Amino acid sequence: MSYDPGQPQQPGYRQAESFIPNFSPPPAQKPPYKVAMPRSRRIPPRQKKGTRRWLWVILTVICVLIIASIFIIRYLNTLAGPTVTVDNYYKAVTQKNYSLAYSYLANNATLTSQNQKVPTGSQQDYTTSARLLDSNIGSVISYKVATTSNNTLLIINTTRSKNAHSVLYSVRFTMIQEDGAWKIKDMNGGF
């Protein structure tokens, strides 16, 4: 049996086609919709971790402002403290509230009026002296605090009036801090 290409093949035999198996997977196709995974295998999406830098900046600014305001208030109190004390003292004297005025004096304060030392021992002694001064040279009707560069030294111009006659006095105050509050240590020139 020979093979002759010019001769027709015998009907009983067919030439076998060569078969080569294809082991490659079929081309991937996307499903038309998203297939949900079972809940147990679902992974939550990763969230972006937002920076909170702005929060720290704002908190820092607020803290700095609070601390700065505390220092500013303390500084202003040291500057204004003596002036406020003298102002309160003269308000009390103008209203003839000598017990309140006495509370602004330091322990062992010295008061000098018309070159005479006025005793300030007790509140009663001070009240008696203040009333005597009011009857002799007149009541305080006005005052003006003139500050100096030194917190502990203040000059106050007071006007006393008796029988419609006004007299201007210049009073020098020496201030000290006693128990955290400004007090009048020395008053010279008429209180």
Domain extents in the chain: 54-188
pLDDT in tens, 93-109: 889 999 999 999 988 88
Write down the pLDDT at residue 60: 95
Fold that domain 54-188 belongs to in CATH: Nuclear Transport Factor 2; Chain: A, (3.10.450)
Write down the pLDDT at residue 116: 76
By the 8 A CB rule, do 165 and 93 touch?
A: no
pLDDT in tens, 160-185: 888 878 888 888 888 888 887 889 88
Write down the pLDDT at residue 47: 67
Q: Which amino acid is at 73?
A: I
- Which of 172, 128, 120, 177 is closest to 146 using CA atoms? 172
Predicted TM-score of the model (pTM): 0.56
Residues in the chain where the model's pLDDT stays below 70: 1-50, 77-80, 118-119, 147-149, 151, 190-191
Write down the pLDDT at residue 64: 96
Write down the pLDDT at residue 130: 84
**Residue 29 CB: number of other CB atoms within 10 A?**
6
